Structure 1
Amino acid sequence: MDISEDNIIGKISPLIGFSGETKYTIGEIKLPVYVEGLNSMQKFCVVDVLLGCNIILGRPWIHEMRAVPSTYHQCVKIPTPWRVVTVKEEQDVKEVNLIPEDPNIKVLLGAKISKELEVKFTDFLKKRMKTFAWKQEDMIGISKDVITHKLGIDKSFKPIQQKRRKFTPKRNAIIQEDVERLLKAKMIKEVKFPEWLANVVVMQKKNGKWRVCVDFTDLNKACPKSISSASHRCNGRCYFWT
């Protein structure tokens, strides 16, 4: 980012990630943040890690700017003296088919990369086609001898069976199609008389397609939050990666 390390103030503090891993900062730095005509100085923690982005803006910046972030819409709305500004991430990518006769085997590449680099990428991926799972049937799963995931449910909570919700014929067809697809791919299996029973939720994605989810609200309440996750959420600093 062409920023001299001389501007970093040496102050070491631990950061705890969701996995429980502890990473120590190498210092702090103040940098100007310019967004749609508004400029402010923000303090960042500097961490020496390899990441896909250079800067993450945290809650202090959001509060100071009186911004309203939306994960669902992938945007941030900021009030300014002249209007409410919407800052939205624009993904400038394009689809590239690795096998022309199979439209499902495709990747997303940056739209602005050179043709030479695009050819190198596609040739590299074509030589390693079997490395990736192009459809759900390709995901063979992990043996139970390697690892088994179990929910840490608090025994003091009583299992809840949600009352069955009714859907329109259109949404019922969407749910049935998704269930049959997952059964065929052996991603799910049928169980009878479960202690916990949760309804499905059908949501429309930005591209117009539908996503079938499960309402795990009751189950989430019965699962205690991990200490590492809580520590990460409560840390309201901004992080700056070198």
Structure 2
Amino acid sequence: MPRVTFDSLEINPKELKSTKNPLLGFDGKRVEPIGTVELMVRAAEKNLVESFVVVEIHPSYNLLMGRGWIYRVQGVPSTLHQVMRCISPDGSKVIDIRRDQVAAKECYLVTLKAAGKGQTHARSADEQ
């Protein structure tokens, strides 16, 4: 969880638990965590407590959910369709967790541009 997301949730900083386990960022750099916090997450009609590592980074996302969480919500993610399909707790229906594909693409391109110092290596499908 980026620090900015933690701050926007207005959680008391005293709830952060100390951790000494460094993370390896997507760019290969070592990232020192500020701490960890446990939060209730509601998705696919399920309430699950999830532990988040809070770090001082400025990514294009608010949270990263791990494979364990995806398994617990019985999710099947599709990066192609920008959706995660889940089964309701009683098994009676399929629930799609969606995000705005246009906004996700814009965030991704901004991240690529920042990482490449102004040079992106991605093209829109419309440009082909």
Q: TM-score range by the shorter chain?
A: 0.5 to 0.7
Cα gap change, 1:53 to 1:19, in 2 (>3 Å): closer
Cα gap change, 1:20 to 1:87, in 2 (>3 Å): same
Cα gap change, 1:49 to 1:18, in 2 (>3 Å): closer
Among residues 15, 23, 27, which one is paired with 1:7 in the alignment? 15
Query: Which letter maps to 2:29?
Result: E
Aligned equivalents of 1:31 and 1:21: distance in 2? Answer: 27
1:61 counterpart SS class: helix
Pairing 1:89–2:92 present = no
| Rg (Cα) greater in structure | 1
Verify the 8 A CA contact 2:43 2:73 in the aligned structure 1.
no
Pairing 1:22–2:54 present = no
Among residues 40, 45, 54, which one is paired with 1:37 in the alignment? 45
Aligned equivalents of 1:63 and 1:210: distance in 2? Answer: 37
Verify the 8 A CA contact 1:28 1:45 in the aligned structure 2.
yes
Pairing 1:65–2:83 present = no
Aligned equivalents of 2:25 and 2:60: distance in 1? Answer: 16
1:53 counterpart SS class: coil
Normalising by the residue count of structure 1, what TM-score does the alignment of the two structures yield? 0.37
Query: Which letter maps to 1:47?
Result: V
Identity level (%): 27
Normalising by the residue count of structure 2, what TM-score does the alignment of the two structures yield? 0.67
Verify the 8 A CA contact 2:44 2:87 in the aligned structure 1.
no
Superposition deviation, residue 210 in structure 1 = 8.6
Superposition deviation, residue 92 in structure 1 = 7.3
**Corresponding residue for 2:6?**
none
1:26 counterpart SS class: strand
CA distances 1:94-130 after superposition (whole Å, capped 9, x unpaired): xxxxxxxxxxxxxx8xxxxxxxxxxxxxxxxxxxxxx
Q: 1:157-236 counterparts in 2 under 5 A?
A: none
Verify the 8 A CA contact 2:37 2:52 in the aligned structure 1.
yes
Pairing 1:46–2:54 present = yes
Where does the alignment leave 5 or more consecutive residues of structure 1 unmatched?
94-107, 109-131, 134-138, 140-204, 212-242
Query: Which letter maps to 1:58?
Result: G
Superposition deviation, residue 14 in structure 1 = 1.1
Where does the alignment leave 5 or more consecutive residues of structure 2 unmatched?
1-8, 107-117
Q: 1:139-150 counterparts in 2 under 5 A?
A: none
| Count of aligned residue pairs for this structure pair | 101
Superposition deviation, residue 36 in structure 1 = 3.6
Verify the 8 A CA contact 1:12 1:26 in the aligned structure 2.
no
Aligned equivalents of 1:86 and 1:61: distance in 2? Answer: 15
Query: Which letter maps to 1:33?
Result: V
Higher RCO (Cα < 8 Å, 6 or more apart): 1
| Structure 1: 4+ residue segments shifted above 6 A | none
Query: What is the Cα-based RMSD across aligned positions, in Å?
Result: 2.7
